[in-house]
Amino acid sequence: MNKTIYVYGSALVMSMALIGMPGCSKKSVQSGGDSQSTQGMAKGETDGSRSGVGNYPDTSVQSSGGGLRGLDKNPSEERVGSGTMLAKVDPSGSAGRQADEIRAEQAASAAAGLRDVFFGYDSWTISEDGRQALTRDAEWMKSNPIVQIKVEGHCDERGTAAYNLVLGEKRAKAARNYLVELGVNANRLSVVSYGKERPSCNEHAESCYQQNRRGHLVVKTGK
């Protein structure tokens, strides 16, 4: 929780800095027409978060010579430090909070009986089976009109991690768009891609790959 506060806090400081500097206060990114673009953003964020760019340190300083002093016929003593240029990780409450929230989402989604939609290799086309699953999901959503749904796009382990994130988003959006076609209000749907980073099955086999190429519908329980 501390971490979250810190992130927002720095964004706030940033936004103040931007407002204070006339040359920089211009918002340089126009948000597009896609309703999804702001869907995932939590409400009540500071101006700094909306501008979408946080603090940025100067990283351009490059040391030269790498601290090497060269060989010497009468070498003087060089102290070798502990090598701890790395801070000790601070196990904040975040991991526990995430685990609790994931469990709550899973329980709510299981209770709703929402169905996943599965995809072919390298594909984000909704199959006939997928349409049937989403039709059932749409009916459930219409009869539970307050519930917000997150459509997660997942991929199998083949291919690169980066491209699978884009592919996962295409799958999630294909499922989201079909639900909207079926009459679900787009404002109730958000999408997120997990690429191949959260597989439901871990074997190196097609039977497993099939289960991982999916659009997974989750009932949002938190923010």
Partner 1 sequence: MTQMKLISAWFGGGLLLAGAVGILESGAADVFLEATRPDFQKIPVGVVGIHNAGGPDWLGGRIEEVLKKDVKRSLVFDLVDLPSMGIQTPDIGDGMGATSKAVFRQAAEKGVSVLVWGKAGLKGADKEADVNMEGFVYDSGSDELVGGKRYVGSTSVVRLMAHRFADELVFRYTGEPGIARTKIAYVAEQGAARELFVMDYDGHDTRQLTADGFLNLMPQWSPDRRFLIFTAYRNRNTQDIDMIELATGKRWTVISLGGLNITPSLSPDGNFLAFASSHEGNSELYRLDTRTKVIQRLTVNPSGDLSPSWSPNGRELVFVSDRGGGPQLFLMGSDGSNVRRLTFEGDYNAAPVWSPRGNWIAYVCRTHKEYKLCVISPDGQKRMQLTTGPGVDDSPSWSPDGRHLVFSSTSDGKSQIYMIDADGKGIERLTFQGTHNSAPAWSPAS
Among 1, 22, 44, 72, binds partner 1 (CB under 8 A): 72
Binding segment toward partner 1, per CB under 8 A, in 16-24, 112-120, 178-186, 205-213: 16-24
**Contacts (CB under 8 A) with partner 1, residues 173-192:** 190, 192
- For partner 1, the closer CB: 62 or 143: 62
What is the distance between the alpha carbons of residues 131 and 56, in angstroms, rounded to a whole number?
45
- For partner 1, the closer CB: 41 or 107: 41
What is the distance between the alpha carbons of residues 149 and 145, in angstroms, rounded to a whole number?
11
Binding segment toward partner 1, per CB under 8 A, in 96-104, 109-117, 131-139, 176-184: 96-104
**Contacts (CB under 8 A) with partner 1, residues 20-59:** 23-24, 26, 28-34, 36-42, 49, 51-59
What is the distance between the alpha carbons of residues 69 and 163, in angstroms, rounded to a whole number?
44
Burial 174-196 (b: 16+ CB within 10 A, else e): bbbbbbbeeebeeebbbbebbbb
- For partner 1, the closer CB: 29 or 146: 29
Residue 221's contacts (CB-CB under 8 Å, 6 or more residues apart) are 101, 104, 105, 108
Binding segment toward partner 1, per CB under 8 A, in 65-73, 112-120, 125-133, 139-147: 65-73
Q: Which whole-number Å values give the CA distances from 35 to 1, 12, 154, 189, in the listed order?
A: 29, 25, 21, 10
Q: At what angle do helices 128-143 and 161-181 cross, to 10 degrees?
A: 60
Q: Which whole-number Å values give the CA distances from 17 to 51, 116, 188, 219, in the listed order?
A: 12, 45, 35, 38
**Contacts (CB under 8 A) with partner 1, residues 117-176:** 122, 150, 157-163, 165-167, 169-170
- For partner 1, the closer CB: 183 or 222: 222
Among 5, 22, 43, 80, binds partner 1 (CB under 8 A): 80
Q: Whole-number minimum distance, CB 159 to partner 1, in Å? A: 6
Q: Whole-number minimum distance, CB 71 to partner 1, in Å? A: 3
